[in-house]
């Protein structure tokens, strides 16, 4: 069977926003916040008709429109084009509606501000084209609307609304270097367009929250019920409900405003910012007045950024924990502005690709480093809610709606109850009309029946289990900011885990170094002192991003481990923020200095032990490497050291320097879970002087490297990881690893933590993109275990390939890299579903790809949990049904759950509590439904004789029995273990429906029997209807007595224990409640004192033995109800039979992932097996070579450009030497000191910064740089 047939039944749908329909108009097409938009304008006749009916219905129609405002717009407005609209309706991909009014903005002078050129028209850049708003007859008017804190501007040329953006895309990098600052007038014009630079969280006024709560359907129905009860003289219970509702509303108002204030206080803030007005004129303004295009000075002592800005001069050390969850200081360098070749297309700025040069809003600039008297400057690119912090706050204010089947089903059931209530309404009206009752009494009795059938307390009762679960989670140091999501936790059947910091320890330890001096690997070295002054140790000492803050070496943990292993010293001369004032690089040297000869070149060449780091190319996750340019004291040339992913470093290295057994050695370490990093080096030409070193781009030098060896680090599993993974597997919950780390390391960790059994096969999915027209995209499968069997499926776009069946097919797991994921997603979408269903390890995955994987799982019907440490996981945490962050950073606010304990032990805890809360919600709902139906039957029986229950009887049942049992019902704790059987997730299933029907039948049968049996007693006399509403009768007593026990019986029957909750005997408060309610019912039934009988308005039976019969009936009722739940509803065999029947009758009800699993199981030829055998090492080499595309930003080859730079060196050097002695003042920075752009440095070289040699002073023993870039030491 060919694989294309497998994809014919079930195809993987498009991830992300749903496909756009041709007859609809959209804003943000193809993006996550894609929304359908429609234009409307007022219609006088429609509005008059609607308001006529609103008056006729006494405001009820207006209340309905308040709940559904989009229908009010459609009813009172006529649809029109967006160009004519005064109001727009927007519908997002989750079917939620938003209404926005179109506003008109009038500029002062009729001109429209342009983000790039304030004196021109507004320019809107899109990925397809650039359209300009030209002046029209009303050129001084700008139409716009705001939705979800985002402003949309009308573009008359394209006839559509376009999202207002800053300067984050489609601007050349040189634009920012050309920016000299905005004048006051230009800034004011842009201010009118962009508004305040403020992320304001509105704290809703108390009266507004109060009205919103009171006008919600739940409270409206409660108000209706209370009005009926007060009219029916049922004041006591109505007053209790008023009190409870008032307390609930007060608590809601308090919690809502408390959360809003906390969020506002967390994210709000403004400060005074220094902006450039052009011509080096600076002005201090409020940060709220900043607009895109402003040139700001970053304070020398640091600050909290109030906008997103791209750095154009100086360096900043930044803490980005607010965004990433990692508090490791990051060095931000100026935006690249390379010297371009003649025919080279200019680089365009992209805020994602150039994130290393962007200061993001909300991040903490710890300190700045600058050159001489130069200021650290940045150009504002985004403000307000457009910033990174603003997007995070928007995600909190407008979260993805929780689409949960149980919540939807409750509305269907309430609808069914309402239908039953309508039947009872008709029954009551007909019966009472026949009896000649007054119209007022008929309406009152009929409406009272509605309040009985549809319980007003249902929503409040459903939250009881959630509240208790949230409290228990908090005691376990797990905090939940979205309690509604707790029930969803109980449905999870897939959990995705990040690796580093989640499954494994954050920190690492240096295991060993594997040198490769002569094209072959030597024995691994664990003691770094044995390396002496090998090039490898030079690379370890210099190729990092460490810096000194407050006297402590800080930086990336991996860099720290590597640097500490060599036991060298890092020195950064001068005060921390003014180090760039000197011509002194960062120096590293051994802790014990000795004069030795270097092996960099000729052994006779004297070389110092001090190494200066004169240039750094920061680490890029997309490039998977970082590099530094260094110079030894007294050396004639610069050296380049590069560190990064082994696959990337070997692709940049000369083939003759890479050992032949590279892949085998790499696999030997990574398959045992070690983190492996490669180092390479190359000498730069002697004629390449210091100036050109500062201007050269990394693509020009990071090639033709000499491979040096491997650094092996051990990243241990957390001790809690393996037990938790095993627990989840035993509960039939899929575990998926999604990491940015190396594939082989991920495979090792997956086996080590038992995510994959030792006997299971892991099949590596390798996808190759089209190769320059020579071959189409291909997919192959390779066994990743020790058997090294080749499983190959070479598939072209037309689906032609050969298949050979492996008769020894076993359970297998797919392992996919981020590169292959992108290819499969683009070229083989039909295969994606099968990959996701069987995929267990996803390595080298970027943040966007992690979120895509979660979306794919959700599309297939999985309930997905995501657990990460906050770094690069925010997107997936937000997308998943349940996101659990192990980081306490502010990034965790995007996750519903945050664990203070940084281990995955919280995952089974959250799932257990979710299951307990879900089962509690099911039990409470069934209890409330059966309570309503039971009381409904009671009232119908009494209506038949013209009687009713008395107010004290209602109060005894509603307040004393029902309310107390509903509260204590949910206090039962979660079961200690996770079981394979998942809890029910839908009410519209055979089990819950059968349970409610049969339980109602049992209660009805008991009540009817008692109602009829009491009439056969010799002491019975018939009830006579009086106008004084005296309902005391034997029929009343009979149904009241038995129903009092039934409500207790139902509470016990629906209070489930194992396997999702502990037994009810562990819930002592519930047991006490049951005993008190039972004792009260027995007392009233068997032999109540006359005073109690009069208080309850109940007519006691003259025969005590007959009263005891009711205890017997109650016991039989109890046994039947409990046995029904235990042996029928909760029976595994019965549930399986019902499930098979439903599956047979409704095949579409099967989850997509289950259907795909079934198809895979029924097709043993997939994945197909080839007779050829290829080593895993060669497979990785092929994948690397297929995906590696050298990145060269220049039109010529790197060597030609390097030669051109060298030829220009003499002339450049002469230009520098013509300046006074201090000309290089701004150039001595060592680490991250220099911008990658050339224009800035040309300014430095052309302007003498020191007037005489006497201005340059060095302390004794201090190292500096001469005009030719050599190091000199003052004696």
Which positions are annotated as active-site residues?
Answer: 498
Q: Are 361 and 307 in contact (CB under 8 A)?
A: yes
Three-state secondary structure string covering 962-1028: HHHHHHHHCCCCECCCCCCCCCCCCCCCHHHHHHHHHHHHHHHHHHHHHHHHHHHCCCCCCCCCCCC
- Please report which helix (H) or strand (E) contains residue 934, including its range: helix 906-944
Q: Across-strand partners of 523?
A: none
**β-strand pairing of 25-27 with 77-80:** unpaired
What are the DSSP calls for 1118-1143, one per residue?
HHHHHHIIIIIIT-HHHHHHHHHHHH
The torsion defined by the Cα of 94, 95, 96 and 102, in degrees rounded to 10, comes to 110
925 prior amide bond cis, ω within 30:
no
Residue 1000, phi then psi, degrees to nearest 5: -65, -35
Cβ atoms of 152 and 110 closer than 8 Å:
no
Confirm if 365 and 185 have CB atoms less than 8 A apart.
Answer: no
Give the 3-state secondary structure of 589-646: EECCCCCCCCCCCCCCCCCCCCEEEEEEEEEECCCCEEEEEEEECCCCCCEEEEEECH
How many Cβ atoms sit within 10 Å of the Cβ of residue 57?
A: 12
In this structure, what DSSP letter does residue 277 have?
B
Question: Which residues lie closer than 8 Å to 507 by C-beta, 6 or more apart?
Answer: 557, 561
Query: Residues near 86 by Cβ (< 8 Å), separated by ≥ 6?
Result: 40, 41, 42, 101, 102
Residues 498, 500, 502, 504: is their CA dihedral positive or negative? Answer: positive
Among residues 629, 633, 632, the alpha carbon closest in space to that of 615 is found at 629
What is the C-alpha to C-alpha distance for residues 575 and 345, in angstroms, rounded to an integer?
41
Helix (H, G, I), strand (E, B), or coil: what is residue 435?
Answer: coil
For residue 22, CA distances in Å to 26, 79, 159, 1010 come to 10, 18, 16, 65
Transcribe 831-874 into DSSP letters: HHHHHHHHEEEEES--HHHHHHHHHHHHHTT--EEEEE-SSS-H
Report the length, in residues, of the chain: 1275
Single out the residue of 23, 27, 21, 32 nearest to residue 160, CA to CA.
Answer: 27
Could you tell me if 240 and 959 are in contact, meaning their C-beta atoms sit under 8 angstroms apart?
yes
H helix intervals, 114-234: 173-178, 184-194, 206-214, 217-231
**Buried (b) or exposed (e) across 1008-1024, using 16+ Cβ within 10 A?**
eebbeebeeeeebeebe
The dihedral sign for the CA sequence 415, 417, 421, 427 = positive
Strands 315-319 and 330-332: antiparallel
Cα-based distances in Å from 962 to 190, 924, 927, 1077: 62, 11, 9, 10
Q: Which of 724, 849, 839, 829 is nearest to 784 (CA)?
A: 839
Cα 995 off chain centre by: 38
């Amino acid at each position: 069977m060919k694989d294309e047939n497998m994809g014919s039944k079930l195809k993987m749908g498009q991830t992300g926003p749903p496909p756009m329909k041709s007859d609809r108009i959209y804003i943000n097409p193809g993006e996550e916040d894609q929304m359908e938009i429609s234009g409307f304008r007022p219609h006088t006749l429609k509005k008059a008709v609607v308001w006529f009916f609103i008056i006729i219905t006494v405001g009820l129609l207006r209340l309905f429109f308040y709940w559904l405002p989009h229908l009010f717009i459609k009813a009172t407005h006529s649809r029109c084009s967006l160009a004519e609209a005064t109001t727009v309706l927007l519908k997002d991909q989750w079917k939620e509606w938003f209404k926005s009014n179109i506003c008109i903005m009038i500029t002062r002078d009729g001109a429209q501000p342009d983000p790039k050129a304030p004196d021109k028209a507004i320019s809107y850049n899109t990925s397809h084209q650039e359209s300009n708003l030209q002046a029209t007859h009303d050129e001084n008017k700008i139409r716009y609307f705001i939705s979800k804190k985002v402003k949309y501007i009308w573009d008359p040329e394209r006839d559509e609304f376009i999202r207002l953006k800053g300067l984050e895309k489609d601007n050349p990098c040189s634009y920012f270097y050309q920016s000299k600052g905005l004048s006051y007038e230009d800034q004011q014009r842009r201010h009118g367009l962009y508004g305040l630079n403020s992320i304001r969280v509105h704290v809703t006024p108390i009266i507004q929250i109060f009205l919103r709560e009171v006008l919600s359907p739940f409270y409206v129905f409660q108000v209706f019920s209370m009005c009926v009860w007060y009219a029916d003289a049922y004041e006591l219970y109505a007053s209790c409900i008023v009190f409870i509702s008032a307390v609930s509303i007060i608590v809601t108002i308090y919690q809502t405003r408390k959360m809003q204030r906390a969020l506002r206080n967390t994210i709000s803030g403004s400060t005074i910012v220094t902006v450039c007005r052009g011509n080096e004129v600076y002005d201090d303004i409020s940060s709220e007045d900043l607009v895109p295009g402003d040139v700001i000075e970053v304070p020398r002592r640091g600050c909290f950024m109030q906008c997103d800005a791209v750095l154009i001069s100086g360096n900043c050390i930044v803490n980005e924990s607010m965004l990433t969850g990692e508090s490791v200081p990051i060095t931000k360098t100026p935006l690249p502005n390379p010297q371009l070749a003649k025919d080279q297309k200019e680089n365009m700025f992209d805020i994602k690709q150039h994130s290393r040069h962007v200061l993001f809003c909300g991040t903490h600039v710890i300190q700045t480093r600058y050159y001489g008297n130069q200021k650290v400057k940045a150009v504002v690119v985004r403000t307000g809610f457009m910033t990174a912090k603003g997007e995070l706050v928007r995600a909190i204010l407008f979260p993805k709606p929780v689409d949960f089947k149980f919540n939807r089903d409750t509305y269907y059931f309430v609808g069914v109850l309402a239908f039953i209530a309508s039947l009872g309404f008709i029954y009551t009206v007909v019966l009472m009309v026949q009896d000649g009752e007054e119209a007022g009494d008929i309406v009152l009795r009929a409406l009272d029946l509605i309040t009985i059938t549809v319980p007003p307390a249902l929503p409040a009762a459903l939250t009881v289990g959630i509240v208790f679960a949230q409290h228990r989670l908090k005691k376990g140091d797990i905090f939940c900011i979205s309690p509604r999501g707790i029930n969803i936790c109980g449905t999870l059947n897939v959990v995705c885990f990040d690796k580093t910091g989640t499954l494994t320890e954050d920190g690492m330890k240096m295991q060993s170094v594997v040198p490769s001096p002569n094209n072959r690997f030597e024995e691994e070295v664990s003691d770094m002192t044995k390396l002496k002054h090998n090039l490898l140790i030079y690379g370890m000492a210099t190729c990092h991003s460490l810096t000194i803050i407050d006297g402590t070496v800080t930086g990336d943990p991996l860099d720290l481990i590597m640097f500490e292993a060599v036991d060298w010293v890092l020195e950064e001369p001068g005060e921390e923020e003014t180090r760039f004032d000197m011509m002194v690089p960062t120096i590293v040297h051994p802790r014990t200095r000795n004069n030795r000869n270097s092996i960099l070149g000729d052994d006779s060449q004297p070389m110092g032990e001090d190494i200066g780091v004169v240039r750094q190319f920061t680490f890029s996750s997309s490039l998977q490497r970082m590099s530094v340019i260094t110079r030894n004291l007294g050396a004639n040339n610069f050296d380049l050291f590069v560190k990064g992913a082994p696959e990337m470093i070997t692709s940049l290295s000369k083939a003759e320097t890479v050992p032949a057994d590279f892949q085998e050695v790499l696999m030997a370490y990574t398959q045992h879970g070690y983190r492996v990093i490669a180092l390479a080096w190359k000498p730069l030409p002697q004629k390449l002087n210091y100036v050109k070193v500062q201007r050269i781009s990394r693509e020009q030098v990071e090639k033709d490297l000499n491979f040096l060896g491997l650094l092996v680090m051990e990243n241990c599993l957390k001790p809690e990881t393996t037990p938790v993974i095993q627990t989840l597997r035993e509960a039939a919950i899929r575990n998926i690893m999604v990491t940015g780390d190396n594939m082989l390391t991920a495979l090792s960790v997956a086996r080590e933590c038992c995510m994959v059994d030792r006997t299971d096969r892991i099949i590596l999915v390798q996808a190759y993109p089209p190769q320059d027209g020579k071959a189409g995209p291909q997919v192959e499968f390779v066994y990743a275990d020790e058997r090294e069997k080749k499983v190959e499926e070479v598939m072209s776009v037309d689906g032609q390939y050969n298949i050979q069946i492996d008769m020894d097919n076993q359970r297998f797991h797919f392992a996919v890299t981020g590169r292959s994921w992108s290819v499969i997603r683009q070229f083989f979408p039909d295969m994606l579903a099968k990959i996701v269903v069987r995929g267990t390890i996803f390595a080298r995955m970027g943040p966007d790809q992690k979120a895509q994987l979660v979306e794919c799982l959700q599309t297939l019907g999985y309930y997905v949990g995501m657990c990460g440490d906050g770094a690069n996981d925010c997107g997936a945490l937000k997308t998943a049904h349940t996101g659990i962050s192990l980081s306490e950073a502010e990034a965790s606010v995007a996750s519903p759950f945050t664990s203070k304990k940084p281990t995955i032990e919280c995952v089974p805890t959250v799932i257990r509590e979710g299951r307990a809360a879900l089962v509690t919600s099911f039990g409470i709902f069934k209890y409330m439904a059966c309570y309503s139906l039971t009381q409904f039957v009671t009232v119908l029986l009494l209506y038949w004789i013209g009687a009713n229950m008395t107010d004290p009887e209602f109060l005894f049942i509603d307040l004393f029995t029902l309310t107390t049992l509903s509260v204590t019902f949910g206090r039962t704790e979660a079961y200690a273990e996770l079981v394979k059987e998942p809890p029910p997730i839908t009410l519209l299933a055979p089990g819950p429906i059968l349970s409610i029907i049969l339980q109602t039948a049992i209660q009805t049968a008991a009540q009817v029997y008692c109602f009829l049996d009491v009439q056969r007693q010799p002491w019975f006399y018939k009830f006579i209807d009086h106008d004084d509403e005296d309902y005391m009768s034997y029929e009343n007593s009979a149904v009241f007595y038995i129903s009092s026990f039934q409500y207790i019986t139902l509470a016990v029957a629906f209070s489930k224990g194992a396997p999702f909750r502990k037994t009810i005997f562990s819930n002592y408060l519930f047991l006490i409640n049951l005993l008190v309610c039972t004792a009260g019912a027995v007392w009233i039934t068997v032999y109540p004192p006359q005073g109690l009988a009069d208080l309850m308005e109940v007519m006691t039976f003259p025969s005590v033995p007959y009263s005891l019969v009711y205890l017997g009936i109650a016991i039989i009722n109890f046994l039947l109800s409990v046995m029904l739940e235990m042996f029928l509803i909760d029976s595994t065999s019965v549930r399986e039979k019902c499930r098979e029947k439903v599956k047979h009758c409704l095949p579409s009800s099967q989850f997509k992932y289950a259907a795909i699993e079934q198809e895979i199981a029924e097709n043993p030829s997939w994945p197909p097996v080839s007779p050829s055998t290829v080593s895993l090492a060669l497979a990785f080499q092929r994948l690397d070579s297929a995906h590696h595309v050298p990145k060269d930003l220049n039109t010529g080859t790197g060597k030609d450009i390097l030669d051109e730079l060298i030829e220009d060196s003499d002339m450049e050097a002469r230009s520098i030497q013509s300046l006074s002695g201090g000309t290089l003042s701004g150039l001595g920075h060592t680490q991250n000191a220099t911008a990658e752009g050339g224009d800035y440095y040309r300014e430095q070289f052309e302007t003498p910064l020191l007037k005489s040699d006497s201005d340059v002073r060095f302390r004794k023993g201090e190292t500096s740089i001469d005009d030719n870039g050599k190091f000199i030491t003052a004696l």
